């Protein structure tokens, strides 16, 4: 009887601490394909809503210092707007997050050409990346949401049929965990990430957020925003966020790298001390909300982007117009253009290998 009681108590406790998931319609695409929205909720009232179109994080409601919930990510109200969108709001990015120089790479002696959708370069997987497909969704027993997409051999020029699985988990500690897994039947290159734009105030620009980056170096870029191959120390540059600084403090300085990116749009080389999750970044909104977001990842790099190309041309949720620098991105990743930079950590995935990486966004307030 005691054992039965213990097991029952454990099951009840586990159920009490698991996120709940509810499914709703999110509209249709231009061809009539139905798209769903899944909302994960924890016991603290935090909510994360994810759509099957592009696996995008549509909404993320977190408490401020007074416990009031507010949405801290940019996005759209329906699937049709995501299909028309151009800014990758909240989307899962693949096959290759960030840029590949000259839209080509060589793997095992063969050169592959991928779409040029960013000048002479390929950005975020090409013209029809993972963000432009409907993913297959499955609710897991622990309240997590699993999404899967099968990218066929030759999809956007990439070799191998790749099966990608991404799991969104919302914990009772107000942690949004994103786990990326993949396998391929031919050698390929892979760099999956999430492209959420955050604003911990909920609106206005993000230049007053306090940003900390656990990185001693970053990867400078050329005029096409392709890394030069150098790992440059941040010391003495506007890219030193080892102590909390606001982006607005130095974003308009007379610095060549800032001019090339029209602000911050660079990859930082994270300080890592071994496998597993380690601290990557912290953002605090010191004003009225007091919200804090910490990022932990097992990836070698993180792209910090300050919404430099937002220009007021897109209307988001509730008709809100997203102006210049009203959101920032922290894309955990391997370095941009790694397939063409042998000195960078490899992004090659071969048959029999398992791609498995996790990033956590941890929320609090003070």
- Residues whose CB falls within 8 Å of the CB of residue 274, separated by 6 or more in sequence, listed in order: none
195 a catalytic residue: yes
Ramachandran assignment for 290, one of left (phi > 0), alpha (psi -120 to 50 degrees), beta (any other): left
- Given 195, 209, 266, 334, the catalytic residue: 195
Backbone angles phi, psi at 247, to 5 degrees: -60, -35
- Given 47, 285, 331, 360, the catalytic residue: 331
Which tokens in the block code for residue 192? 């999956």
Q: Note whether 186 and 151 are within 8 A (CB).
A: no
b/e for 48-66, b at 16 or more Cβ within 10 A? bbbbbbbbbbbbbbbbbee
Chain-centre distance for alpha carbon 295: 11
> What letter would DSSP give residue 198?
B
Dump the DSSP string for 94-152.
-SB-SEEGGGEEEETTEEEE----BTTBEETTSTT-GGGSBPEEEE-TTS-EEEEEEEP
Cα separation, 250 vs 255, whole angstroms: 9
Q: Note whether 242 and 234 are within 8 A (CB).
A: yes
- Which residues share a beta bridge with 211? 245, 283
Residue 73's alpha-carbon distances to 132, 183, 201, 251, 254, in angstroms, are 19, 30, 10, 22, 30
- Coil, strand, or helix at residue 248? helix
285 a catalytic residue: no
Could you tell me where the DSSP H helices lie in the chain?
Answer: 2-17, 79-84, 256-261
Q: Note whether 250 and 211 are within 8 A (CB).
A: no
- Residues whose CB falls within 8 Å of the CB of residue 89, separated by 6 or more in sequence, listed in order: 56, 73, 74, 75, 76, 82, 195, 196, 197, 316
The residues annotated with a catalytic role in the active site are: 195, 331
């Amino acid at each position: 009887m005691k054992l039965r009681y213990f097991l029952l108590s454990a099951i009840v406790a586990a159920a009490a601490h698991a996120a709940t998931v509810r499914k709703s319609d999110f509209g249709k695409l231009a061809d009539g394909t139905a798209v769903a929205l899944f909302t994960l909720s924890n016991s603290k009232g935090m909510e994360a809503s994810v759509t099957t179109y592009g696996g995008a994080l549509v909404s993320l409601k977190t408490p401020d210092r007074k416990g009031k919930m507010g949405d801290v990510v940019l996005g759209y109200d329906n699937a049709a707007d995501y299909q028309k969108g151009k800014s990758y709001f909240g989307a899962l990015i693949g096959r290759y997050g960030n840029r590949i120089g000259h839209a080509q790479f060589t793997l095992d002696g063969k050169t592959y050409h991928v779409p040029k959708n960013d000048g002479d370069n390929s950005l975020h997987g090409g013209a029809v990346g993972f963000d432009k497909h409907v993913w297959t969704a499955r609710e897991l027993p622990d309240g997590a949401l699993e999404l899967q997409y099968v990218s066929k051999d030759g999809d956007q020029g990439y070799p191998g049929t790749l099966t990608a699985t991404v799991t969104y988990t919302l914990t009772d500690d107000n942690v949004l965990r994103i786990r990326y897994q993949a396998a391929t039947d031919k050698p390929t290159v892979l760099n999956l990430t999430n492209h959420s734009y955050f604003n911990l105030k909920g609106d206005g620009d993000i230049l007053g957020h306090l940003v900390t980056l656990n990185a001693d170096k970053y990867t400078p870029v050329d005029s096409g925003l392709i890394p030069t191959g150098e790992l440059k120390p941040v010391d003495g540059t506007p890219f030193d966020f080892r102590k909390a600084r606001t982006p607005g403090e130095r974003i308009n300085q007379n610095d060549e790298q800032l001019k090339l990116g029209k602000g911050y749009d660079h990859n930082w080389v994270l300080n890592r001390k071994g496998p597993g999750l380690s601290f990557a970044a912290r953002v605090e909104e010191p004003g009225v909300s007091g919200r804090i977001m910490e990022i932990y990842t097992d990836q070698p790099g993180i792209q910090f982007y300050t919404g430099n190309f937002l220009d007021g041309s897109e209307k988001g949720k509730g008709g809100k117009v997203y102006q210049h620098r009203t959101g920032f991105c922290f894309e955990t990743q391997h370095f941009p253009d790694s397939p063409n930079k042998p000195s960078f950590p490899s992004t090659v995935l071969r048959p029999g290998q398992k791609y498995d990486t996790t990033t956590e966004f941890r929320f609090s307030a003070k």
